Amino acid sequence: MAGTGVADSPVARVLVGLDAIRPWQEELYRSLHQHPELPHQEVATAAAAADALRTAGYEVRDRIGSTGLVGVLRNGDGPTVLMRADMDALPIKEETGLPYASTAHGTDAAGNAVPIAHACGHDVHVTSLVGAARLLAEARDAWRGTFVALFQPAEETATGATEMVEAGLTDLVPKPDVALAQHVLAYASGTVGTHAGPFLSTAASMRITVHGRGSHGSMPQRSVDPIVLASMIVVRLQAIVAREVAPGEFAVITVGHLAAGTKSNIIPDHATIELNIRAYSDATRSLLIDAIERVVKGECAASGSPRDPEFELYDTYPLTSNDPDTTARVAAAFEEQFGERAFSAPSQSASEDFSTIADAFGVPYTYWGIGGSDPDEWHRADAAGTLATDIPANHSPRFAPVIQPTLTTGTTAIVVAALAWLAQ
Ligand code: ZN
Ligand code: ZN
């Protein structure tokens, strides 16, 4: 179809450089993969991104918060599009057996020595965004407006987006008309999935301390047993999702940690419960938190607990709810570019802090998924019905996207989505 209108389209004129940057992009990917960095420590990753952006002609602001970074490319009058990539890796030992597997170690925020790996694929996000940023810079006559490439620290601890906003992000870059982000997921590589409305759950963890009265194990009448109290709470919490949340509404309460006592014949004086909640709406999230507090206080009263329980919320993630109009625009552009490889993705129960950035600007956003799994392996597993268990997904020590067509797809998706605004 060479010589048709499609070949001259703005998208084609930007993507014409894709083959030429491929070796550079793949080398950058392998290097980032081998040198992963923990949340708020993404110094070398941010430097590599800053380098690529400066070379391409972007105005760069770095160290926004800890390692946050933005590159701005002003290209005449027109809309402003912000695209975000997260940079951090996980405290996991990589077990992919790849020749470019990470053997890195580091020190986490608590001072522990930990192995580090890009088991969530954020190296794909960084590499795709610097690639797309470079292609857009090399084909400035194909579009008009402003492109903002944003590299965020510490997605995995839900602290990086907030940190950039608190460091004055909204004053440092032009206000975007739309904010975009993507994540590599365990779909077949080469595919792109969009979803209008709630796509990723809002999440929070809660640490609860309940108080009893300690005693010798032979004299329970002198105690208020916090182990019995905590056990009642754990059982009673199960009724919240079952009896208070409407059937069909997504909600999870998982108690992942329960601790009390030291020895079989000592009744301790307190117990701690740590739980995680997930929901697809802020209303359901509030319902869960209120119900948990009510149940805990009620059980403490029932046990005759001598002190009020303590509640601490941490690792709180906002809801990622994709704007319908923005998503429709991106989905239509993906369908034109990717054909059958563009699909409508189901909601994921995982969580993200990207919406904090879009909300800080008060602009609509959409967040899409790109496939990272070997397409042959994926189709075999799909046909055998073993998809969920056999293909390593994000946060598995065996998760590593195939380099291609993952990088090309991630780069193309950014260009196509951005040009849905910038080529109008
Ligand atoms: Zn992750
Ligand atoms: Zn991730």
pLDDT in tens, 1-25: 344 446 689 999 999 999 999 999 9
1, part of any domain: no
Give the model's pLDDT for residue 258: 97
179, part of any domain: yes
Give the tokens for residue 184: 């590599």
Asked whether residue 66 falls in the same domain as residue 195, the answer is: yes
Show which of 282, 317, 352 is a domain's final residue: 317
CA atoms within 13 A on the CB side of 337: 29
CA atoms within 13 A on the CB side of 284: 23
- CA 395 to ligand 1 center in whole angstroms: 6
40, part of any domain: yes
Give the model's pLDDT for residue 3: 40
For CA atoms 61, 64, 69, 74, the dihedral sign is negative
Amino acid at 294: R
Is residue 349 very low, low, confident or very high in pLDDT (cuts 50, 70, 90)? confident
Show which of 257, 284, 317 is a domain's final residue: 317
Query: Could you confirm whether 269 is annotated as catalytic?
Result: no
Give the model's pLDDT for residue 5: 47
Asked whether residue 47 falls in the same domain as residue 163, the answer is: yes
- CA 304 to ligand 1 center in whole angstroms: 42
Query: Could you confirm whether 156 is annotated as catalytic?
Result: yes
Asked whether residue 129 falls in the same domain as residue 174, the answer is: yes
**Portion of the chain with pLDDT greater than 70, in percent:** 97
361, part of any domain: yes
Asked whether residue 206 falls in the same domain as residue 176, the answer is: no
> Nearest bound ligand to CA 181?
2
271, part of any domain: yes
- CA 270 to ligand 1 center in whole angstroms: 33
242, part of any domain: yes
Show which of 317, 343, 376 is a domain's final residue: 317
Asked whether residue 289 falls in the same domain as residue 382, the answer is: no
**Portion of the chain with pLDDT greater than 90, in percent:** 91
For 339, other C-beta atoms within 10 Å of its C-beta total 8
- CA 382 to ligand 2 center in whole angstroms: 23
- CA 156 to ligand 1 center in whole angstroms: 5
State the CATH number of the domain containing residue 190: 3.40.630.10
Asked whether residue 177 falls in the same domain as residue 309, the answer is: no
Asked whether residue 274 falls in the same domain as residue 324, the answer is: no
Is residue 315 very low, low, confident or very high in pLDDT (cuts 50, 70, 90)? confident
Asked whether residue 30 falls in the same domain as residue 95, the answer is: yes
> Nearest bound ligand to CA 86?
2
Residues 6+ apart with CB under 8 A from 2: none
For 20, other C-beta atoms within 10 Å of its C-beta total 12
Phi-psi region of 97 (alpha: psi -120 to 50; beta: other; left: phi over 0): left
- CA 89 to ligand 2 center in whole angstroms: 8
Asked whether residue 14 falls in the same domain as residue 118, the answer is: yes
> Nearest bound ligand to CA 84?
2
- CA 62 to ligand 1 center in whole angstroms: 23
| Residue from 37, 42, 88, 156 carrying the catalytic annotation | 156
State the CATH number of the domain containing residue 257: 3.30.70.360
Cα separations (Å) of 81 from 237, 322, 407?
44, 16, 21
3-state secondary structure the chain: CCCCCCCCCHHHHHHCCHHHHHHHHHHHHHHHHHCCCCCCCCHHHHHHHHHHHHHCCCEEEEEECCCEEEEEEEECCCCEEEEEEECCCECCCCCCCCCCCCCCEEECCCCCEEECECCCCHHHHHHHHHHHHHHHHHCHHHCCEEEEEEEECCCCCCCHHHHHHHCCHHHHCCCCCEEEEEEEEEEECCCEEECCEEEECEEEEEEEEEECECEECCCHHHCECHHHHHHHHHHHHHHHHHHHCCCCCCEEEEEEEEEECCCCCEECCEEEEEEEEEECCHHHHHHHHHHHHHHHHHHHHHHCCCCCCEEEEEEEECCEEECHHHHHHHHHHHHHHHHHHEEECCCECCCCCCHHHHHHHCCCEEEEEEEEECHHHHHHHHHHCCHHHHCCCCCCCCCCCCHHHHHHHHHHHHHHHHHHHHCC
Give the tokens for residue 86: 């997260």
Please confirm whether the linkage preceding 405 is cis (ω < 30° from 0): yes
pLDDT digits 0-9 by tens, 75-100: 999 999 999 999 999 999 999 999 99
> Nearest bound ligand to CA 126?
2
- CA 384 to ligand 1 center in whole angstroms: 27
CA distance 244 to 131: 48
Asked whether residue 172 falls in the same domain as residue 58, the answer is: yes
- CA 395 to ligand 2 center in whole angstroms: 8
278, part of any domain: yes
| DSSP characters over 145-179 | EEEEEEEES-TTTT-HHHHHHHTTHHHHSPPPSEE
- CA 40 to ligand 1 center in whole angstroms: 15
- CA 155 to ligand 2 center in whole angstroms: 7
Q: How many structural domains is the chain composed of?
A: 2
5, part of any domain: no
Ion ligand 1: residues, Cβ under 5 Å: 120
- CA 88 to ligand 2 center in whole angstroms: 8
Asked whether residue 191 falls in the same domain as residue 221, the answer is: no
Asked whether residue 20 falls in the same domain as residue 162, the answer is: yes
Q: Are 44 and 87 in contact (CB under 8 A)?
A: no
pLDDT digits 0-9 by tens, 260-311: 999 999 999 999 999 999 999 999 999 999 999 999 999 999 999 999 999 9
| Residue from 37, 42, 86, 177 carrying the catalytic annotation | 86
Give the model's pLDDT for residue 389: 59
Q: What is the mean pLDDT of the chain?
A: 95
**Domain around 24:** 10-199+320-422
